[in-house]
């Protein structure tokens, strides 16, 4: 599928899934308890039905039609939708922070908000054509600022909110945990050490991408230059390696096999879905220089 088809297909899917979720809440009353703090009345969640119906369901459909039919206001529509979805997302995150409950709802909302924002960046601004990968030359200062802003957002989503949702789901379904982290200092210290080491690798990779590539790790604002220095001298995808190891460390810290499996599954998804697209783009833009780099530096195993 091309970029426009990816965006429209996602938006239609989002509308259908959101409508189905509301059907579940209305027709299976017990399901409401999975998505809000235990002590809250059922109406606390059901009160969002009108906002979700108009913004998420109808908004996604209208935006998909606008993009498919090349309306001049399509960019405004998708960026407005992306902004609107983040409001209830921040609400859900705020509820989870103050109650330490309803992490499943926060995880679902942050996933929807993140994917909608990703679709907006793929569609681009009125001055850009839709593209899954877009090289965006930046000044060094801008590249550094955007890179570490993206890093903070990604870490917050993938290493905190989503794992907490998985842990809450694991608790509700009775899936046993490993030894409790506070009872085994070695588990805690080992997980923190592993997380810190992986985080340093991720920060080093981001810094190198920004300062040597004049871009960010985000595919729709990727580096305009081929980066082969820093950690990229040893492995072709140090940020992916860092992210997977961070996720494993988070799972180890909490004693959650489910979170460890989530991190490993993310690696397989990246390898099978994202990597081929990125490598095709790099081959197209840098030709023999990238081919030579691939011959000398391995994908996952440091040379």
CATH number of the domain that residue 291 is part of? 1.20.120.1630
pLDDT given for residue 125 in this prediction? 86
Q: What are phi and psi of 216, to 5 degrees?
A: -125, 170
pLDDT at 262 over 80: yes
In three-state secondary structure terms, 234 is: coil
- What sign results for the dihedral spanned by CA atoms 210, 132, 64, 44? negative
Residues 127 and 110 both lie in one domain? yes
pLDDT given for residue 303 in this prediction? 77
Residues 154 and 115 both lie in one domain? no
The residue out of 132, 156, 177 marking a domain boundary is 132
Quick one: average pLDDT of 73-79?
96
Closest CA to 293 of 217, 242, 229: 229
Q: CB under 8 Å to 267, separation ≥6 — which residues?
A: 240, 244
pTM of the model: 0.91
Residues 94 and 213 both lie in one domain? no
Q: How many domains does the chain have?
A: 2
pLDDT at 181 over 70: no
The residue out of 132, 158, 173 marking a domain boundary is 132
pLDDT at 158 over 70: yes
Domain of 111 in residue numbering reads as: 1-132
Q: 């992490």: which residue's tokens?
A: 103
In three-state secondary structure terms, 216 is: strand
Task: Give the model confidence (pLDDT) of 113-134 as tens digits.
Answer: 999 999 999 998 888 888 889 8
Residues 164 and 271 both lie in one domain? yes
Closest CA to 146 of 196, 90, 205, 206: 206
Residues 31 and 19 both lie in one domain? yes
Residues 192 and 226 both lie in one domain? yes
Residues 50 and 194 both lie in one domain? no
pLDDT given for residue 180 in this prediction? 58
Residues 101 and 151 both lie in one domain? no
The residue out of 100, 132, 164 marking a domain boundary is 132
Residues 250 and 197 both lie in one domain? yes
Percent of the chain past pLDDT 70, that is, above it, reads: 98
Residues 143 and 121 both lie in one domain? no
Burial class (CB in 10 A: 0-12, 13-18, 19+), 28: exposed
pLDDT at 179 over 90: no
Quick one: average pLDDT of 79-89?
95
Residues 46 and 193 both lie in one domain? no
Residues 146 and 286 both lie in one domain? yes
């Amino acid at each position: 599928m091309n970029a426009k088809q990816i965006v429209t297909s996602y938006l239609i899917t989002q509308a259908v899934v959101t409508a189905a979720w509301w059907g579940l809440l209305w027709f299976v009353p017990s399901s409401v308890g999975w998505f809000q703090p235990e002590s809250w009345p059922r109406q606390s969640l059901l009160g969002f039905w009108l906002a979700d119906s108009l913004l998420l369901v109808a908004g996604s459909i209208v935006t998909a039609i606008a993009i498919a039919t090349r309306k001049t206001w399509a960019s405004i529509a998708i960026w407005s939708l992306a902004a609107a979805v983040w409001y209830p997302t921040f609400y859900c995150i705020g509820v989870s922070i103050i109650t330490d409950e309803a992490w499943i709802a926060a995880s679902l909302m942050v996933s929807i908000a993140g994917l909608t924002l990703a679709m907006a960046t793929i569609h681009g601004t009125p001055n850009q054509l839709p593209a899954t990968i877009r090289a965006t030359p930046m000044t060094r200062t801008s590249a550094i600022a955007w890179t570490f802003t993206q890093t903070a957002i990604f870490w917050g989503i993938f290493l905190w909110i989503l794992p907490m949702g998985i842990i809450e789901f694991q608790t509700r379904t009775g899936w046993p945990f490993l030894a409790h982290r506070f009872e085994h200092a070695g588990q805690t210290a080992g997980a923190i050490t592993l997380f810190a080491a992986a985080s340093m690798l991720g920060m080093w990779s981001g810094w190198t991408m920004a300062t040597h590539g004049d871009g960010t790790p985000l595919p729709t604002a990727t580096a305009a230059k081929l980066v082969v220095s820093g950690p990229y001298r040893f492995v072709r995808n140090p940020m992916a390696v860092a992210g997977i190891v961070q996720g494993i460390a988070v799972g180890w810290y909490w004693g959650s096999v489910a979170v460890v499996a989530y991190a490993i599954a993310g690696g397989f998804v990246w390898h099978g879905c994202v990597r081929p697209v990125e490598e095709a783009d790099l081959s197209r833009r840098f030709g023999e220089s990238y081919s030579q780099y691939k011959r000398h530096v391995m994908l996952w195993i440091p040379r």
